Amino acid sequence: MLSIAFLEQTDSTMDFTSFSTETGKRLSAPTPEINVSVCVLNWNDPVRLRGCLQSLRDVKALNDVNYEVIVIDNGSTDSSRELVLNEFPLVRLVALPQNIALAAAYNQGLRLGRGRFLVILNNDIVVLDDCLSRMARFLTEDSTAGIVVARLLDPNGSVQERYYLCKLPSLRSLFAELSWLDRIWPNNPWGHKAGARGWDPDKIFQMEQVPGAAMMVKREVVERVGLLDEGFRFGYEDVDFCNRCGKAGWTLWYLPDARVVHYGGASVAMMESRDTSLFRFRGLLRYSQKYFTPRQYFILRLLVAGILVLRLPVVFALELWPKASVRTRWKGTHRVYLRLFWESLTATTRVAC
């Protein structure tokens, strides 16, 4: 059983209790005074975390909803926890003793959320203006809307269109992605961009999947479809959640007037390349096993195995690269690829990632 320190600091008191991943399956009881619970996940990035929390504090007066902020620190070994306790005393802090799956970590915050709406927010997000009010108002006015996502902006103000895939993954779109056809022929009729045709970043748009960096979910949606699937270690947990919401009859929307700045890739940059490859491929296999037909799943497994074999020479070259930082980042990745090759052929990715 994983014991989790839960630190809640108010103006002058700090309360220590415990929370277990094997209990607390249900959400905390809602509180009428709180409209929105914002769950921020952090891992060894106090600089980005400070920017995120500062933005939430700065825009509070611009939002006509009362919201609480919950930081889930996913086993950081730096000054992240001290930052929250010292500079943001009204933030609730869940301090995980070790780094766990992204979905499992976010679920700790979602379970504690007391708001009518629950927000999943990356720590590399800076919230702008009345973003939270606009998202909450949209979900309130549309009874069938279950999830709404903000407009993700680069620091220069341009829209991050690459995150809005709109359609759920299919065998064809995954083939285009894994074979790098999307890179060679970006406008091919099978890839992810094909699913985003008709999307206008300046208009409200219904989607099958939304980026998980800044999305707001109705509380009743989580109560009905469940929390994030903790079998996903890193990657596809948000796609899986969107799929479950859609199958349950909820609609998912992009709201252009709700704006955030997304710096992107902070936590991924700190991970070893072999780890990101392992978790993403396992997440892909787990997702396809859940939603594809047996025949499609079999074809995808063969596709993954073939792609891994074709990429191995590139991986070997990077592991022997003259630049030390490149060699360090890719060290041991070939062993991960060989392990994934075996798993894809034997269909052993049926347990938690």
Measure the CA–CA gap between 133 and 36, rounded to whole angstroms.
9
What's the predicted TM-score (pTM) here?
Answer: 0.83
The pLDDT tens digits for 179-216 are 888 788 877 788 776 666 667 889 999 999 999 999 99
What is the residue extent of each domain of the chain?
Answer: 3-164+199-265, 271-346
197: Cβ contacts below 8 Å, ≥ 6 apart? none
pLDDT score at 4: 41
Report the percentage of the chain scoring pLDDT > 70: 85
CATH code, 3-164+199-265: 3.90.550.10
Residue range 159-167: average pLDDT?
Answer: 81
Q: E-strand spans in 154-243?
A: 205-207, 214-218
Residue 122: strand pairing partners: 41
Number of neighbours of residue 70 by Cβ within 10 angstroms: 26
Angle at alpha carbon of residue 248, lines to 242 and 249, rounded to 5°: 95
DSSP per-residue letters across 222-251:
HHHH-S--TT-SSSSHHHHHHHHHHHTT-E
* Residues comprising the chain, all counted: 353
DSSP element (H, E) containing 8: strand 3-9
Q: How confident is the model at residue 348 (pLDDT cuts 50, 70, 90)?
A: low
pLDDT score at 196: 67
Q: What pairing do the DSSP bridges indicate for beta strands 36-42 and 145-153?
A: unpaired
pLDDT score at 16: 27
The pLDDT tens digits for 167-183 are 888 888 888 888 888 78
Residue range 319-348: average pLDDT?
Answer: 83
Q: How confident is the model at residue 22 (pLDDT cuts 50, 70, 90)?
A: very low
DSSP element (H, E) containing 280: helix 273-291
- What's the DSSP call for residue 198? T
Q: Is the pLDDT of residue 351 over 70?
A: no
Residue range 89-112: average pLDDT?
Answer: 92
End-to-end CA distance of the chain: 18
Residue range 314-334: average pLDDT?
Answer: 86
Cβ 145 vs Cβ 139: under 8 Å: yes
12: Cβ contacts below 8 Å, ≥ 6 apart? none
Q: How confident is the model at residue 233 (pLDDT cuts 50, 70, 90)?
A: confident
Q: How confident is the model at residue 161 (pLDDT cuts 50, 70, 90)?
A: confident
